[in-house]
Structure 1
Amino acid sequence: MNSDIKNQEAVNHFDASLWNKVNALFLRKAISEFSHEKLITPQLTKINDEFNDFTIELDNQISYFFSARVLPLEHWWIDLTSIRKEQNETAAPLSIIEFIFEVNHLLKIPTDMLPTYLEELSNTLYGAIYKLKKNTITADELAKSDFQTIEKNMFEGHPCFIANNGRIGFNADDYQKFAPEASNGFKVLWVAGHKSKTSFTSIDSLNYTAIITQELGEEQHTVYQNTIKGLGLNPDDFYIFPMHPWQWQNKLSFIFADDITNQKLILLGEGKDTYQPQQSIRTLYNKSEEDKYYVKTGLSIQNMGFMRGLSPYYMQTTPGITSWITALLKEDNYLQKQCFSMLGEVATIGYRNVNFEPLGRTNAYNKMVAVLWRETPQQFLQKEEKAVTMASLLHIDGEGNALLKAFIDSSWLNVDQWIKNYLDAYLKPLLHCFYAYDLAFMPHGENIILKMKNNVPFGIFMKDITEEVVVFKEDKNYSSAVKRLVVNASNDVKSLTIFTDVFDCYFRFLSQILEEHCNFHHLDFWELVSQSIKEYQNEHPQFSSKFTECDLFADDFILSCLNRLQLQNNKQMVDLADPVNRLQFIGTIKNPIAKFKTVLNEFN
């Protein structure tokens, strides 16, 4: 009986009406993003006052009909209720899986990649229907909520990718335990790795004893040391570190059986603290003691174009990169003024599986046992301040209401004032890192944590500052770790760190939400963006030559397509060692702020 109940729980959130809704939502997203990336070309059939009518005519007498507005950056704002499908001139139900098959002659997903992509998409639908069924907190309620409540209740995932919550490797029970939207938190496992195969690295102000004492506590540390002694071994020969329970159950118990049998890798037991998985899924937040570090571990599931392992070799350089970036930026007066902070990745442990090392360091089997400790926002906020994932600004609740509007309404600022504050906090520091230091982060919604006071942004925390960062300037004095971050790129490609990562992958969606939910016209938003950039340029005339070389007011820019990346290789979407090499460039796209360049020059 118990097993029957458990099996039923795997599908308890299934609901026919919600299933139809999530298929419509993802079909809308697919049509919008595939059209944006020039994979499909809807045909205009009727011009109306606002939303024009379009069709997609396919083989086998299949047609899709919908109404849409095409905003700047060729962003397709599609009326969800208008989407219809006909087959042989008869109404047919909407199915995103069927749609992928129907348009794959245009998408050209490789035959060997298609099943994996469809599995990722199916898993994404599974999560979407769960969120709509279970996570019913409204936008107004979320606006009053704390950091982790907002984090847990995000719906969209990455706004560009269709299959963005694949998590291949999780079963239904794992989903309930470990998916951020479903989990109520769990305890990590603690293991001991023999120092002959384990490396510890930290920033200069920390050491292993300090980290383990803070994160584990002296009492529990002593218990684990005694466990090692009880095996007839010397605790000083081991590093103790946390590990995701899924990783132990599904990977380490099998693949590391040799080391476990020979007591090179020892299971010590379950820790006392409860951790909440974050949107990035392998990063864990300590719910029991919020002043402790984030823990990020290897988690060998397939998710959105990558196996989510963690390299023990890469971990050896991580604290050094943290120290370098901190030394470079921390004392910058402008960044301090903008309340820009980075969450340092302060210590790491990596364990090597020597049996698999001949496969190469980049092989997924050599990225299974590693951990890093990262600073959390709670360590730096004052009493009346709160941290909020920037992904929240794109969140639409189950009733169709925008969290962004709830933030603005509760702040007592008008939309114009609120957006100006947001651009000061988010955009200007990115511009400064780019122009002053030739440095670019990956500033998408999940990687940015807003500093908020009275629901108004006044600064940001940047995370993933060592893995998702590039440096565009070579220097012979760079350490070997920093040299690995250097990317040689043309000025057009360098500019994509703003054009693609900020404009196309975030502001494009934000502008629609502002118009749809806040009655703030998309052109007014882009004008504020242009003003923010020009303000920065006027404040920093010493970079005028760089402003010309990487001109953010250029008429157009290269269209870099994210779904095309995933569709071509959903197992290794990008080579992090050479992130530019695999980018999918498809022509150019008009720059939404180019029209404001002359106006701003005249104004200035």
Structure 2
Amino acid sequence: MSPSDTITPAIDPGAAHLEPVAMAVAHRHLVAKVLAELTHERVLAPRPVAGSVDTWTITADDGSVAYRFVARVHRLEHWSVDATTIERTVLGEPAEVDALEAVVDLAPALGIPDSLLPVYLEEVASTLQSAAWKLAHHRLDADDLVHADLPTIEAAMTEGHPAFIANNGRIGFSLADFAAYAPEAGAPVRLQWTAVRRSLAHLSVGEGWTEESLWAHELDDDLVAQWRELLRGLGEDPDDYLFAPAHPWQWQHKLAITFAPDVARRDIVPLGPGRDDHRAQQSIRTFLNASDPARHYVKTALSIQNMGFLRGLSPRYMRPTPAINDWVADRVRTDPELQNCGFDVLREVAAIGYTGGAYQRLPEPSAHQKMFAALWRESATSRLRDGERAATMASLLHRDAKGRSLVAALVEASGIGARAWLAQYLRAYLRPLVHCLAEHRLAFMPHGENLILVLRDHVPVRVLMKDVGEEVAVFASSEGHGVDVPEDIARIKVDVGPDLQVLSILTDAVDGFLRFLAAICADDGLVADDEFWGLARAVIEDHAADHPELADRLAELDVQRPHFAHSCLNRLQLRNTLQMVDLTDQASSLIMSGELANPLAP
């Protein structure tokens, strides 16, 4: 056979990132997270190596596999594991560092039900695929992102939820789907628009909006006219329909198949793609409008398995969403303290859900009832003033391919020093959360992806909260009396005691986000652990000094208590990889592992 006759294996361009070097880095990063977060949650218990202050070992239950690594231990039992130092041995012999093998090695300690272990492994494998893709394609470093706009920053993020190990599962996406719809791909997406029969759907709009003004804001008049003419051509009355956007993947894989009879009856009529280019945000099923940033974000149902949930949207749940947002926004926007902090919410001003078809008549809740709904949310870009820039708060935990943190780059660019920068950030983020809980009994889900930082001269000046309708809670008073919440939004009322109420700060903000930021600041030499938490304590104490009228309520919450219940997120996903919690009763789903020492304690 001549050289010209040799066969060169064809490589799918979409899989070019699946090569040994990038995957080896991805494996080490994820195994470091396995060791760090499961130690934080007290699932694993590293032992120190004799004669070393920072080297540790973990051995599998049967003794056959061992891990050795270097790590720094910070406050809140946070472990910064150096991924490059991880060594794995099997029966005493060196072995590859492999994230799937790590899950299998440690499975008895993790407690994953045998029937769900393959599902979790698949989510881990998909997370590795995503990590390898980012390593191969992302070129922007932290100094570039200091000056970048919101869509660029969203696409540049390399890490999903900081605590969850399997945080980019996306089971259901193909390689082509990943390239087309994953936020890190940054590809333009045109939403699939449909007309849904008005009698089998609902559209709810918030204060200041009508159906007509919504379409005028989101759609071009001539496009609406074309759609109405299309419906007439099918023998239908356009006035009998509402317009509903869908994720293109959802249309192709679910709506056109699972709702085929509804499409055939023309209860759902495909209208084709919209004109505007959209970009997926970190939450993957929420899109910002890249063609016209003043237009709303659109959140759609997306029936893929990701991070412990099938990412649907319930039409029933969507119905009161605009009213919930109006009620919350009224309290936030009329509170002088919150306005002084610049704290605000991105209102979800409209929601639509398809309630027709046989699935909605079934007595037991199912994923099939959450396949077709959407909401419209105020755009963060439309809320910016001259000289301001927006960034997802998740970006404060970002490191580029060289290991440089974005927060270090922002501090350097600001020129004001780390202490002043962090004090301003904590005043914009932590103080409003405490005030909302104390004054209004309001709790949000304040993790990084759910907040938009507004920066001026590279310094955070205020934050905008999103995902209000699905995740806000209003707590009952200590006397058991209900907070004055209108009946149509009563689902947001939660009756738990102060010890659980305060976890909306201590678990969701302190352990869920600030723990990671504090470690980055210490590891990068910005401020030491004690300095960081001293700045956070000062924010809490300044708020209390400024609001003596809240003294009794603040004492009841006791944000600075010495210890707080240690709520464990990975344990939730390990227990049930298909649905971590019951969204209608999240408090009862929590898994605790003792208590954590509170770094906010005086």
Conserved in 2, the CA contact under 8 Å of 1:256 and 1:353?
Answer: no
Query: 1:504: which partner in 2?
Result: 511
Superposed CA RMSD in Å reads: 1.6
Gaps of at least 5 residues in structure 1 are: 598-604
Amino acid at match of 2:560: F
Query: 2:155: which partner in 1?
Result: 152
| Alpha-carbon distance in 2 for matches of 1:282, 1:89 | 45
Match of 2:83 among 61, 80, 83: 80
| Alpha-carbon distance in 2 for matches of 1:573, 1:147 | 30
| Alpha-carbon distance in 2 for matches of 1:414, 1:477 | 44
Change (3 A) 1:381 1:60: same
Query: 1:312: which partner in 2?
Result: 315
| Alpha-carbon distance in 1 for matches of 2:364, 2:438 | 34
Query: 1:491: which partner in 2?
Result: 498
Displacement, 1:438? Answer: 0.6
| Alpha-carbon distance in 2 for matches of 1:138, 1:288 | 26
Displacement, 1:48? Answer: 3.6
Query: 2:575: which partner in 1?
Result: 568
Amino acid at match of 1:41: A
Amino acid at match of 2:330: A
Partner secondary structure for residue 531 of structure 1: helix
Q: How does 1:427-466 map to 2 (within 5 A)?
A: 427-466=430-469
| Alpha-carbon distance in 2 for matches of 1:15, 1:288 | 35
| Alpha-carbon distance in 2 for matches of 1:273, 1:137 | 26
Deviations 1:77-108 (A, max 9, x none): 22222210112222111011001111111111
Displacement, 1:477? Answer: 4.6
Matched, 1:273 2:280: no
Partner secondary structure for residue 192 of structure 1: strand
| Alpha-carbon distance in 1 for matches of 2:280, 2:88 | 38
Matched, 1:524 2:528: no
Partner secondary structure for residue 39 of structure 1: coil
Conserved in 1, the CA contact under 8 Å of 2:308 and 2:579?
Answer: yes
Q: How does 1:83-98 map to 2 (within 5 A)?
A: 83-98=86-101
Which range moves more in the overlay, 585-594 or 352-361?
352-361
| Alpha-carbon distance in 2 for matches of 1:183, 1:326 | 31
Amino acid at match of 2:260: A
Matched, 1:44 2:51: no
Amino acid at match of 2:47: Q
Query: 1:341: which partner in 2?
Result: 344
Q: How does 1:82-231 map to 2 (within 5 A)?
A: 82-231=85-234
| Alpha-carbon distance in 2 for matches of 1:7, 1:467 | 43
Partner secondary structure for residue 148 of structure 2: coil
Conserved in 2, the CA contact under 8 Å of 1:241 and 1:371?
Answer: yes
Query: 2:591: which partner in 1?
Result: 584
Conserved in 1, the CA contact under 8 Å of 2:485 and 2:493?
Answer: no
Matched, 1:514 2:521: yes
| Alpha-carbon distance in 1 for matches of 2:589, 2:90 | 37
| Alpha-carbon distance in 2 for matches of 1:185, 1:478 | 40
Conserved in 1, the CA contact under 8 Å of 2:568 and 2:590?
Answer: yes
Conserved in 1, the CA contact under 8 Å of 2:475 and 2:483?
Answer: no
Amino acid at match of 1:223: Q
Deviations 1:460-496 (A, max 9, x none): 0000011111111253752234321111112211111
Displacement, 1:60? Answer: 5.4
Which range moves more in the overlay, 265-274 or 63-72?
63-72
| Alpha-carbon distance in 2 for matches of 1:303, 1:70 | 30
Change (3 A) 1:575 1:55: closer
| Alpha-carbon distance in 2 for matches of 1:504, 1:180 | 26
Displacement, 1:315? Answer: 1.2
Partner secondary structure for residue 200 of structure 1: strand
TM-score of the aligned structures, taking structure 2 as reference length: 0.96
Deviations 1:243-269 (A, max 9, x none): 111011000111111111111110011
| Alpha-carbon distance in 1 for matches of 2:482, 2:275 | 46
Gaps of at least 5 residues in structure 2 are: 1-7
Matched, 1:30 2:50: no
Matched, 1:540 2:547: yes
Conserved in 2, the CA contact under 8 Å of 1:120 and 1:163?
Answer: yes
Partner secondary structure for residue 524 of structure 2: helix
Displacement, 1:57? Answer: 4.8
Query: 2:373: which partner in 1?
Result: 370
Partner secondary structure for residue 105 of structure 2: helix
Conserved in 1, the CA contact under 8 Å of 2:14 and 2:175?
Answer: yes
| Alpha-carbon distance in 2 for matches of 1:109, 1:19 | 25
Matched, 1:237 2:244: no
Displacement, 1:47? Answer: 5.0
Which range moves more in the overlay, 472-481 or 133-142?
472-481
| Alpha-carbon distance in 1 for matches of 2:488, 2:188 | 34
Displacement, 1:9? Answer: 2.1
Matched, 1:13 2:2: no
Amino acid at match of 2:512: C
Deviations 1:295-332 (A, max 9, x none): 11111111111111111111110011011112222111
Conserved in 1, the CA contact under 8 Å of 2:262 and 2:357?
Answer: no
| Alpha-carbon distance in 1 for matches of 2:72, 2:366 | 44
Deviations 1:470-523 (A, max 9, x none): 111253752234321111112211111111011111111111110111341111
